[in-house]
């Protein structure tokens, strides 16, 4: 899967520019990427993490 494919799937999972922490974890697993890699892509795409399980966001 290309970087552009990953970005398109992430954007589809967060249509309002926000994604919950549990949802982000599921997306990372479905795409076969690490949570760190997903976080970097979310930052790049300016998608905010909400309902953080650690209370960080």
Q: Does residue 29 sit within a domain? A: yes
When divided into structural domains, the chain yields a total of 1
Q: Does residue 57 sit within a domain? A: no
**How far apart, in Å, are the Cα atoms of 13 and each of 8, 18, 24, 47?**
9, 9, 8, 10
Q: Does residue 37 sit within a domain? A: yes
pLDDT at 36: 93
Cα dihedral: 19, 22, 26, 31 (round 10): 40
Q: Does residue 56 sit within a domain? A: no
**Residue 18 sits in which domain range?**
3-50
CA 51 – CA 23 distance, rounded (Å): 10
Over the chain (57 residues), what is each successive 10-residue block's mean pLDDT? 93 95 94 94 95 66
| Distance, C-alpha 44 to centroid of its chain | 10
pLDDT at 1: 83
CA 10 – CA 54 distance, rounded (Å): 21
Q: Does residue 17 sit within a domain? A: yes
pLDDT at 55: 60
């Amino acid at each position: 899967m290309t970087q552009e494919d990953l970005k398109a799937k992430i954007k589809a999972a967060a249509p309002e520019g926000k994604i919950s922490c549990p949802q982000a974890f599921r997306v990372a697993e479905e795409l076969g990427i690490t949570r760190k890699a997903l976080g970097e892509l979310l930052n790049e795409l300016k998608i905010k993490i909400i309902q953080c399980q650690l209370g960080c966001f």
